[in-house]
Structure 1
Amino acid sequence: MAKLYFRYGTMNSGKSIEVLRVAHNYEEQGKKVLLFTPAVDYRDGVGTVASRIGMRKEGIVIDDQLDMVALAAKERPKCILIDEAQFLNKQQVLQLTEITDTLGIPVIAYGLRADFMAQLFEGSYHLLAWADKIEEIKTVCWYCDRKATMNMRLEDGRPVFEGEQIQIGGNESYLPVCRKCYSSKKKQAHIL
């Protein structure tokens, strides 16, 4: 039975590496995969899934006009992979459930759980509610040896805790941190 998986982690936890690894494993066996990425993520070019270690692959751009169900029904892949799934909207997440439930195609969505203000993204909110299986991809806090559970945004190398939810960036803009270090940096900024 096909399932909808949501695999989440902080920035720099290896989510995109995992997406590319899974795609490679299917394709190496001659099995078709559809790889999707939201249009809002333009960091490495719209439609490109790229890891920090240099691996990259072109994907199908998800925008408001894309009917992922119709495309999956036409292409009949063995698996569907989604990078940066936090940027999906509710209707797009529901399309993923339909692909899984009616077409019997497993869907693995990778993304952040929460933003730099510890607020859920729309896509993450709905994936946490609708996914059959939720798995955490772990990494270590930038400042200590605890497990990173938060994303800290930086501006000019300094932590910030207010602003627009979406700001595309990498290590220059975000650090994976544990809750204790996040709270400590927030107190230092006199925001708590």
Structure 2
Amino acid sequence: MHAITNSGWVEVISGCMFSGKTEELLRRLRRAEIAGQEVAAFKPSIDDRYGTETIGSHDGAKWEALVVDPENPGPEIFEALNGEQVVGIDEANFFSENLVSVCEQLAEDGRRVIASGLDMTFRGEPFEPVPNLIAVAEYVDKVQAICIKCGEPATRTQRLIDGVPAHVDDPTILVGAEESYEARCRNCHTLRTD
């Protein structure tokens, strides 16, 4: 809670795949815990890459988390909370637009909310609800990876299907890691349209 305003706030960590979003989320949660603050973490049920009840980063760091319904996360999140001052939410891009009002309510209740997620789809388009969450957040950090092709700062997520860029009409959500995605810069990011 801010000392002057006596209010909570929302922080968003966004960027492309392999940019360190979850790593930064976990770093902030660890620091809050070191400071003696109670922490609760949540993730969408669709993401089971690092275990069903664990937030995990590609570098192997992990944090115990409660799995919640991505379509309607509010009831499960509010029911699970027991006075925690800090709430971490990973993979915000897998949640419905309901996540924005949930984060706002958590902040209005005096909590520090830290959400991480992709800000763009593999097509390079806004990945809701993250852009709307960014709009209402007090603090926003956009992190970058390194383009796997040219070494420039990467802001795009390149989806690959059998080593070939995905088609523009492929489904937006496909849970995966190194086997399905690469970090790319604007110039090296491509989509199949044939």
- TM (norm. structure 1) is 0.87
Q: Which amino acid aligns with 1:38?
A: P
Distance 2:125 2:101 in 1: 21
2:96 matches 1:84: no
- Give ranges in structure 2 of 5+ residues lacking alignment: 3-7
Question: For residues 35-50 of structure 1, what are the structure 2 equivalents within 5 Å?
Answer: 35-50=41-56
Measured in 1, the distance between the counterparts of 2:161 and 2:97 equals: 30
Structure that is richer in helix per residue = 1
SS of equivalent to 2:116: strand
Task: Tell me the residue number matched to 1:8.
Answer: 14
Q: Report the CA distance between 1:48 and its aligned residue.
A: 1.5
Q: CA RMSD in A?
A: 1.8
- The farther-off stretch of 2-11 and 26-35 is 26-35
1:140-188 superposed Cα distances (whole Å, 9 cap, x missing partner): 1111122111110011112113311110000110011111111xx44xx
In structure 2, the residue matched to 1:29 is: 35
Identical pairs, percent: 31
Is the CA contact (8 Å cut-off) linking 1:33 and 1:77 kept in structure 2?
yes
Q: Is the 8 A contact 1:79 1:106 kept in 2?
A: yes
Which runs of at least 4 in structure 1 moved beyond 4 Å after TM superposition? none
Counterpart for residue 170 of structure 1: 177
Query: Equivalents in 1 of 2:162, 2:106: separation in Å?
Result: 43
Letter in 1 for 2:118: L
How many angstroms apart in 1 are the aligned matches of 2:139 and 2:27? Answer: 19
Trace 1:56-135 onto structure 2 (pairs within 5 A).
56-63=62-69, 64=72, 66-67=74-75, 68-72=77-81, 75-101=82-108, 103-135=109-141
Kindly indicate whether residue 176 of structure 2 is the aligned counterpart of residue 160 of structure 1.
no
1:150 match: 156
Q: Does the CA-based 8 Å contact 1:69-1:98 persist in structure 2?
A: no
Q: 1:117-137 CA distances to partner (integer Å, 9 max, x unpaired)? A: 122222213213322222111
**Structure 2 residue aligned with 1:20, among 21, 26, 45?**
26
AA in 2 matched with 1:107: V
Q: Give the structure 1 partner of residue 5 of structure 2.
A: none
Q: State the Cα deviation string for residues 53-81 of structure 1 (Å, max 9, x = none).
A: 21212201121365224544xx1212111
Taking the aligned partners of 2:33 and 2:100, their CA distance within structure 1 comes to: 24
**Residue segments in structure 1 that go unaligned for 5+ positions in a row:** none
Give the whole-Å Cα distance in 1 for the aligned partners of 2:33 and 2:135.
30
Give the counterpart letter for 1:105 in structure 2: R
Distance 2:10 2:182 in 1: 28
